[in-house]
Amino acid sequence: MSAPVVIRGGTVAEAGWTAPADVFLAGGKVTALAEPGTPAPRGVTEIDARGMLVLPGGVDPHCHVGFTSGDFTSLDDYAQCTTAAVFGGTTTIVDFAIPRPGQSPADAAHAQRARAAGGLCDSALHACVVEWDETVPEQLRSLVADGMPTVKMFTTYRGETMADEDTILRTMATLRDLGGMVVIHCEANHIIEDTQTRCSHDGRIGAEHMAATRPELAETASVAEVLAIAESLRAPVYFVHQSTPEAVELVAAARRRGVAAYSESVAHHLVLDDSLYAGATPERFVCCPPLRPRPVVDGLARHLATGEITTIGSDHCCYDLAQKESRRSDVRVMPNGLPGVETRLPVVFSEFVTGGGLPVTRFVELTAANPARANGLYPRKGTLMPGADADVAIWDPSAQWTITSEALHMATDYTPYEGMAVTGRPRTVLVGGRVVVHDGVLADPEPRGRHLAAGPVTSPGGRTRAARASR
Ligand code: URP
Ligand code: ZN
Ligand code: ZN
């Protein structure tokens, strides 16, 4: 059990407000937010947070740990991924239990949960459905009861994880009635395969052509189709890694019609653009959906401020350079995805809070509170209100530093942000009331991370009528 602590002199930032406050922690929980200078009982350890923001630890809703796809498995385990997460100010990750071909959703979930040990912070899991059969409803019922109410689906990656429309519809309807939600990767596979075939005929299938091989239209078309299913069913749906403003706007328009539909964006789509594919190392930036042209990136980022984006994840996928380089001549067989669990919060804070005037309250909403809500983890996670877990990022908003892969802790040898100058970083990170990282040093390596059983998902936005209420 963690000893009592008070974090003094900082400015607490929640999703809805900021205020100077002292934060009292005991027994692994937040016990009080108090007037600055409130006397502490004897024996309480004081942490000086003057000049700092005191934030709820980040919640990363999209994090692949040891993820196998095609011939490649990403390189981290829970110990490595959560260590990197905590160094970056994130104190809860949500991983995926993706079935291998022929494996059931329940077996995949149990296998991935068995790997979820040795973490420095807590984790939860999205289950995943690829193919419908008569056993799926009962599997979903028991997965939801077992704390996995969110179920990943894909409209792409044929032969691996792609689900057909009937499977998506049935899974969505079943989850709607169980208090769960489909979380979905939308790219219309037929458009992508056809585009890739044409690119291949023209000799344009290497990593430098990544953006052309997965067009924006494929994402727009798939989002529209899945939204139609959700609207028809009055079921909630959460779109992962939306990479274009059009995709986000389709979801926002559906929300205005009463659909409980949510947009996740990820840090690299908000910051990096497709000019990187023209550089010397295009393979380092190969991810799905691909990086988009600068006007698209800027259009997407505008929706951080409009409120239309619900959450920011990392889509962390920890391949190293040898893996990325080995198939760089053909994006159809390359390992997709970028490492990012550690850089998500600093990059987003620097670009959009320091550099773009995004209120820190919105930063907390996007990176902690809303991911916790959308994943059935709120108010245990994503807030510092009394009763929440004592996961805290004491954030230095004016620290200036340069991102280099050498100084990061992810199980890879590169970062897509190499050399980027950023402002703002976590100075001290507490997990369950214990200081785990302080001034860039691991202060407590004891693996106390727990697997979280998520409850029913709650609406992450004030403007949306919940699906059940709208039926
Ligand atoms: O390129 C990506 N995003 N790789 C990870 C798997 C996925 O599609 O989320
Ligand atoms: Zn995806
Ligand atoms: Zn992903």
Region 253-257 average pLDDT = 98
Q: Please give the structure tokens belonging to residue 264.
A: 């996740």
Q: Which CATH number characterizes residue 145's domain?
A: 3.20.20.140
> Using CA atoms, how far apart are residues 203 and 206, in angstroms rounded to an integer?
8
> Using CA atoms, how far apart are residues 38 and 319, in angstroms rounded to an integer?
48
**70 shares a domain with 50:** no
389: left (phi over 0), alpha (psi -120 to 50) or beta: beta
Q: How many domains does the chain have?
A: 2
**14 shares a domain with 136:** no
If you measure from the C-alpha of residue 41 to the centroid of ligand 2, how many angstroms do you get, rounded to a whole number?
Answer: 49
Q: Is residue 123 part of a domain?
A: yes
> According to the model, what pLDDT value does residue 470 have?
26
Locate the ligand 1 atom nearest the alpha carbon of residue 185 and give its number: 8
Region 64-71 average pLDDT = 95
If you measure from the C-alpha of residue 345 to the centroid of ligand 3, how many angstroms do you get, rounded to a whole number?
Answer: 17
Q: Is residue 406 part of a domain?
A: no
Q: What is the DSSP string of 195-241?
A: HHHHHHHTT--SGGGHHHHS-HHHHHHHHHHHHHHHHHHT--EEE-S
**164 shares a domain with 26:** no
pLDDT over 50 (residue 197): yes
Residue nearest to atom 7 of ligand 1 (CA): 288
**159 shares a domain with 112:** yes
Q: Is residue 438 part of a domain?
A: yes
> According to the model, what pLDDT value does residue 461 have?
65
If you measure from the C-alpha of residue 319 to the centroid of ligand 1, how many angstroms do you get, rounded to a whole number?
Answer: 11
pTM flag (> 0.75): yes
Q: Is residue 244 part of a domain?
A: yes
**288 shares a domain with 265:** yes
Q: Is residue 48 part of a domain?
A: yes
Q: What is the DSSP string of 358-399?
A: --HHHHHIIIIIHHHHHTT-TTTSS--STTSB--EEEEEEEE
pLDDT in tens, 329-362: 999 999 999 999 999 999 999 999 999 999 999 9
> According to the model, what pLDDT value does residue 3 have?
93
Q: Which ligand is nearest to the CA of 67?
A: 1
Q: What percent of the chain has pLDDT over 70?
A: 97
Average pLDDT over the chain, rounded to an integer: 96
Q: Which CATH number characterizes residue 441's domain?
A: 2.30.40.10
If you measure from the C-alpha of residue 37 to the centroid of ligand 2, how many angstroms do you get, rounded to a whole number?
Answer: 47
For residue 459, give its domain range. Answer: 5-55+390-398+422-470
- Name the residue of 315, 319, 412 whose CB sits within 8 Å of the most ligand 1 atoms, as the mutation to test its pocket: 315
Q: Is residue 417 part of a domain?
A: no
